[in-house]
């Protein structure tokens, strides 16, 4: 066990050298090393929300609205087929519990059920008499919800990235919740405004036959609806618009804040299909108003004076510069598939984060000093070798976390402090076994060799079981628990290297060069 080939010794020294190189950027000012390359040193450990300060939000996706929208579309598709078969029917408002249609003639019920049954796969029929209720089965329901959450995660990620923050943490929690942590964000109110909006934008034609007030008094014309104005600066509180969407916001490919006549506005650009549709609508409806509807409110309703070709346009309104920036950001990032509610919100100031860093540093240094002193007092020269390995273990932990760009949190610091104590466990087992072998009359080399060989199985068992616990915490935990598990797992792996390989190399080198006649341990 004490014999080291040259290539093994070179490998241990190479790992230690790489650890020092990759950990060094954490002790130097940011930007000292280039960070463009993924394999060269230069990256620093990312500080989590509790250490750097920032914003934390827990969002809940309104999955019921997703179901209502899908059931509404399903009901429209079924009614279209029923009309083709001349089956009279009356729809009911779709809910999250299904799409319900009433068949007016009893003799058409069976045929209508067959049409509804084949309208879309993975659906089930229920209802009594001439009422037909169509619902998705469990598989389709789960796929629908998972897709909505995945889309929401992607849109939230794009919106947060547009804010210019670094290393945000955006994760799904439970069935329909999303946790957003944005370290270093100075304006949490802006994050709330950005994430709290669905940003679903569509274009509708303004109805010229009546005003919204007249429609409320005499009844809505068929195919119309009344929506409130987001900006009452023009004196209009409500608009009567056509229900039909003439151009969908899904066709938007870019949006930027700009200025027109000295006022902030938002420019937008459609894809090829949306641009062609936009040009066709503006060509055929000169003189009519074109309502731009965002999240159920008319943010602008300019008059179409001439065809707008090329797929470009601007949104005017009483915008501030910040509002124009935020609106363009929302449109670029895309609309959420469903509204989201902010269930929990909290902010961590950078001062509190700095206090946590200082407290964590103090705890780590204090624990390190006590462990170093204990090892030197208990094991003398061998304790010094163990302390050298312990310091290298900490360096390797920092290096691995820097390379992986892991996020260090306050529980992560706790994991590192725990690693300090655990890192010398292997050496304690080995050194105690060497003492025992020496008391039994073995030679110095045989005692050291037997100590390493006999303690190896115990060391492996202890570290593997702890590593399994860390992996379980990482798999099923979230947030701070994951941070603790990451640093603990990395610390276990690096401590195995430093405690077994590095200390053995140091002891073997000392024995080879000094050839001691007595072993003081």
The residue out of 141, 170, 192 marking a domain boundary is: 141
Q: What is the mean pLDDT of residues 492-501?
A: 87
Q: 187 and 236: one domain?
A: yes
Residue 320 lies inside a defined structural domain of this protein: yes
Q: Bridge-partner residues for 347, per DSSP? A: 55
Domain at 97, CATH number: 3.30.1240
Q: How far apart are CA 303 and CA 286, in angstroms?
A: 8
* Domain contains 100: yes
pLDDT computed for residue 468 by the predictor: 92
Q: What is the model's pLDDT at position 478?
A: 65
Q: Is the model's pLDDT at 514 over the cut of 70? A: yes
Between vectors from CA 159 to CA 154 and to CA 162, what angle results, nearest 5°?
A: 125
pLDDT confidence of residue 306? 82
Q: How far apart are CA 482 and CA 42, in angstroms?
A: 25
Say whether both 33 and 70 belong to one domain: no
Q: Are 300 and 284 in contact (CB under 8 A)?
A: no
User: Based on the domain organization, do 308 and 363 belong to the same domain?
Assistant: no
Inter-CA distances, 224 with 215, 282, 283, 355, 519, Å: 10, 19, 21, 59, 95
**How confident is the model at residue 350, as a pLDDT?**
58
- The per-residue pLDDT for range 81-110, each reduced to its tens digit, is 888 888 888 877 777 888 888 888 888 888
Evaluate whether residue 521 is within a structural domain: no
Of 295, 330, 346, the one marking the end of a domain is 346
Q: What are 416-428's pLDDT values in tens digits?
A: 888 877 778 888 8
**How many CB atoms are located within 10 Å of the residue 382 CB?**
25
Q: Is residue 114 one of the residues assigned to a domain?
A: yes
Choosing from 119, 141, 163, the residue where a domain stops is: 141
According to DSSP, the residues that pair with 425 across neighbouring strands are none
The helix-helix angle for 350-404 and 480-496 (nearest 10°) equals 40
* Structure confidence at residue 396 (pLDDT): 92
Report yes or no on 260 lying in a domain: yes
Res. 39: pLDDT tops 90: no
Same domain, 444 and 510: yes
Task: Work out the average pLDDT over 362-388.
Answer: 87
pLDDT at 296: 83
- Predicted local confidence at residue 392, as pLDDT: 92
pLDDT band, very low/low/confident/very high, at 14 (cuts 50, 70, 90): very high
Task: Residue 38: give its domain's CATH number.
Answer: 1.20.1640.10
Confidence of residue 1 (pLDDT cuts 50, 70, 90): low
Compute the average pLDDT of residues 154-173. 76
Same domain for 292 and 378, yes or no, is no
Q: How high is the mean pLDDT of the chain?
A: 82
Q: Residue 84: which domain range?
A: 63-141
The mean pLDDT value for 290-309 works out to 84
- DSSP code for 116: H
Q: What is the pLDDT of residue 384?
A: 92
- Answer whether residue 520 is part of any domain: no
Q: 98 and 14, same structural domain?
A: no
User: Do residues 505 and 397 share a domain?
Assistant: yes
Q: Please tell me the pTM assigned to this model.
A: 0.60
Q: Is residue 205 part of a domain?
A: yes
- pLDDT(132) > 60: yes
Instruction: Indicate whether 75 and 168 sit together in one domain.
Output: no
Tell me the HSE value of 299 on the side-chain side, using a 13 A CA sphere.
Answer: 21
What is the phi/psi pair of residue 494, to 5°? -70, -35
Please give the tally of structural domains in the chain.
3
Greater confidence, 330 or 498?
A: 498
Task: Give CA torsion, residues 356, 362, 368, 371, to 10 deg.
Answer: -110
What pLDDT was estimated at residue 349? 66
Same domain as 218, residue 120 = no
- CATH code where residue 302 lies: 3.30.1360.200
374 and 326, same domain (yes or no):
no
Question: Are 303 and 442 in a shared domain?
Answer: no
User: At residue 32, does pLDDT exceed 70?
Assistant: no
Question: 229, 165, 202, 194: which is closest to 322 by C-alpha?
Answer: 194
Mean pLDDT within 139-165? 82
Which residue has better confidence, 372 or 355?
A: 372
Strands 46-47 and 407-408 come out as parallel
Q: What's the pLDDT score for residue 353? A: 58
152 and 135 in a common domain: no
Asked which of 139-143, 327-331, 353-357 is least confident by mean pLDDT, the reply is 353-357
Higher-pLDDT residue of 232 and 98 is 98
Q: Over pLDDT 90: what percentage of the chain?
A: 5
pLDDT for the residue numbered 461? 87
Q: Is residue 186 part of a domain?
A: yes
Measured CA to CA, the distance from residue 117 to residue 311 in angstroms comes to 40
């Amino acid at each position: 066990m004490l014999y080291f080939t040259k290539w093994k010794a070179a490998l241990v020294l190479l790992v230690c050298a790489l650890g020092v190189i990759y950990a060094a950027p954490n002790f130097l000012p940011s930007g000292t090393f280039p960070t463009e390359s993924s394999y060269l040193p230069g990256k620093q450990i990312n500080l989590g929300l509790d250490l750097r300060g920032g914003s934390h939000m827990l969002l809940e996706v309104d999955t019921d609205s997703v179901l209502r929208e899908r059931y509404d579309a399903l009901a429209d598709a079924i009614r279209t087929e029923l009309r083709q078969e001349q089956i009279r029917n009356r729809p009911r408002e779709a809910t999250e519990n299904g799409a319900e249609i009433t068949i007016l003639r009893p003799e058409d019920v069976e045929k209508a059920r067959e049409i509804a049954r084949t309208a879309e796969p993975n659906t089930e029929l229920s209802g009594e008499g001439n009422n037909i209720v169509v619902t998705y089965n469990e598989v389709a329901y789960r796929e629908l919800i998972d897709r909505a959450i995945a889309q929401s995660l992607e849109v939230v990620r794009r919106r947060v990235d547009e804010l210019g923050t670094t290393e945000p943490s955006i994760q799904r929690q439970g069935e329909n919740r999303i946790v957003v942590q944005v370290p270093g964000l100075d304006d949490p109110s802006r994050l709330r405004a950005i994430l709290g909006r669905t940003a679903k934008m569509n274009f509708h034609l303004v109805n010229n036959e009546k005003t919204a007030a007249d429609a409320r008094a005499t009844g809505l014309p068929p195919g119309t609806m009344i929506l409130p104005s987001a900006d009452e600066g023009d004196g209009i509180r409500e608009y009567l618009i056509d229900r039909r969407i003439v151009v969908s916001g899904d066709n938007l490919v870019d949006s930027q804040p700009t200025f027109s006549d000295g006022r902030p506005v938002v420019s937008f650009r459609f894809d090829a299909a949306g641009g062609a549709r936009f040009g066709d609508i503006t060509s055929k409806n000169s003189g009519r108003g074109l309502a731009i509807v965002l999240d159920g409110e008319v943010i602008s309703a300019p008059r179409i004076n001439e065809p707008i070709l090329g797929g470009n346009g601007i949104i005017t309104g009483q915008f501030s510069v910040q509002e124009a920036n935020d609106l363009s950001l929302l449109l670029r990032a895309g609309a959420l598939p469903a509204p989201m509610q902010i269930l929990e919100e909290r902010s961590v100031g950078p001062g509190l984060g700095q206090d946590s860093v200082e407290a964590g540093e103090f705890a780590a240094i204090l624990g390190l000093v006590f462990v170093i002193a204990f090892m030197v007092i208990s094991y003398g020269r061998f304790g010094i070798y163990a302390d050298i390995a312990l310091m290298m273990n900490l360096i390797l932990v920092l290096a691995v976390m820097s390379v992986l760009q892991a996020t260090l949190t306050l529980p992560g610091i706790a994991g590192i402090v725990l690693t300090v104590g655990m890192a010398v466990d292997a050496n304690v087992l080995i050194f105690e076994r060497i003492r025992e072998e020496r008391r039994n009359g073995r030679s110095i080399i045989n005692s050291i060799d037997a100590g390493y060989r006999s303690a190896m199985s115990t060391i492996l068992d202890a570290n593997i079981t702890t590593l399994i616990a860390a992996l379980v915490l990482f798999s099923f935990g979230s947030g701070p628990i994951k941070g603790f598990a990451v640093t603990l797992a990395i610390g276990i792996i690096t401590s195995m290297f430093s405690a077994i390989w590095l200390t053995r190399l140091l002891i073997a080198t000392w024995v080879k060069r000094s050839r001691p006649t007595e072993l003081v341990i």
